Amino acid sequence: MPTSSGEGRPAPHLTVAGLTAGYVRDAPIIFGIEISAGLGEIVAVVGPNGAGKSTLMKAIAGQVEVFEGRVRLGADDVTGLRGDQLARRGLGYVPQVRDVFPTLTVLENLEMGGYLLPRREVAGRVEAVIEVFPALGAMRSRIAGRLSGGERKMLAIGRVLMLRPSLMILDEPTANLSPALAHQVLETQVRAVAQAGAGVLLVEQRAAEALSIADWAHVMVAGRIDVAGAGSELLAREDVGELFLGRQHATTEAHTTISRPEEAPSR
């Protein structure tokens, strides 16, 4: 089991307890996952390719079958609900791909994001999202398919923000972006979501940058949470650095396990 203290964290808004899930019932991908995220908190999940990180996000977002365990959002049990049902309860999900409508304008994408809102509220929500991401205001009439990678990801996040999510899941938001654009997405866009009051659950291959912005983080290995702690503390730990951040060359065997000290650093 992972070790962590969790002292000083906000009260959980998203609670994942004992979650086992996958695509085939007799072959689960993730096992007994325990994580939580509070309002305004950035929680990162990092780990090697094939660890099950995206499967975890899809299970929480109702896109992969849950075999065991529960997902709670606030006081509600939302285990296995459809995407539209989760959106109504305040969970937003930005997938790695197919995150915007490429033939529509920026404004039309934002309006589509407000599909569950009364029509009279949509324009006001568009302006509220633009307050979070002012650059979208200057791009209202641009076609989404012609945006840069960073602009497109900003629009994808903004579109989900239209429904005022209390918890947002971001699955690999920097995938296929240049290092400069990836830095902008994480440092500016992800932080902006948390500063607006929503909890953020972030899966990210750029582990060092994810840990640098995360209030709390989990290292996932072979479908299980192996280590958890404050992002800054995991960033400084040598075992995590060797395996996932490339500070030293790890052996092939090392990629399947991670050492567990008797007591992880407390926050």
Q: Where are the domains of the chain?
A: 39-51+80-219+226-246
Give pLDDT tens digits for 153-202. 999 999 999 999 999 999 999 988 899 989 999 999 999 999 999 999 99
Q: How far is CA 37 from CA 25, 55, 216, 247, in A?
A: 27, 18, 8, 28
Q: What is the pLDDT of residue 2?
A: 52
The tokens describing 223, both together, are 């479908």
Q: What is the reported pLDDT for 7?
A: 67
Which residue in 26, 185, 165, 153 sits closest to 83, CA to CA? 165
How many Cα atoms occupy the beta-carbon half-sphere of 34 within 13 Å? Answer: 11
What was the pLDDT predicted at 236?
Answer: 87
Distance CA 108, CA 136 (A): 12
**Which of 212-216's residues contact partners 24+ apart within 8 Å by CB, and which partners?**
213/42, 213/44, 213/186, 213/187, 214/42, 214/43, 214/44, 215/9, 215/41, 215/42, 215/43, 216/6, 216/9, 216/37, 216/41, 216/42, 216/43, 216/44, 216/267
Partner residues linked to 35 by β-bridges: 16
Q: What is the pLDDT of residue 226?
A: 86
d(CA 212, CA 44) in angstroms, rounded, equals 10
Beta bridge mates, 20: 68
- Structure confidence at residue 8 (pLDDT): 84
Instruction: State the CATH class of domain 39-51+80-219+226-246.
Output: alpha beta
Q: Are the CB atoms for 42 and 186 separated by under 8 Å?
A: no
pTM of the complete model: 0.85
Locate the DSSP E strands across 172-215: 199-203
CA dihedral 212, 214, 216, 220 (to 10 degrees): -80
pLDDT in tens, 66-122: 999 999 999 999 999 999 999 999 999 999 888 899 999 999 999 999 999 999 999
Q: Which two tokens stand for residue 170?
A: 């971001």
- The predicted structure's pLDDT at residue 243: 57
CA torsion angle for 207, 208, 210, 216 (degrees, to 10)? 100
Q: How far apart are CA 57 and CA 60, in angstroms?
A: 5
Please report which confidence band the pLDDT of residue 251 belongs to, taking 50, 70 and 90 as the band edges: very low
What the block records as the tokens of 197 is 């009051």
Question: How far is 265 from 4, CA to CA, in rounded Å?
Answer: 7
Q: How confident is the model at residue 250 (pLDDT cuts 50, 70, 90)?
A: very low
**Residue type present at position 203:** V
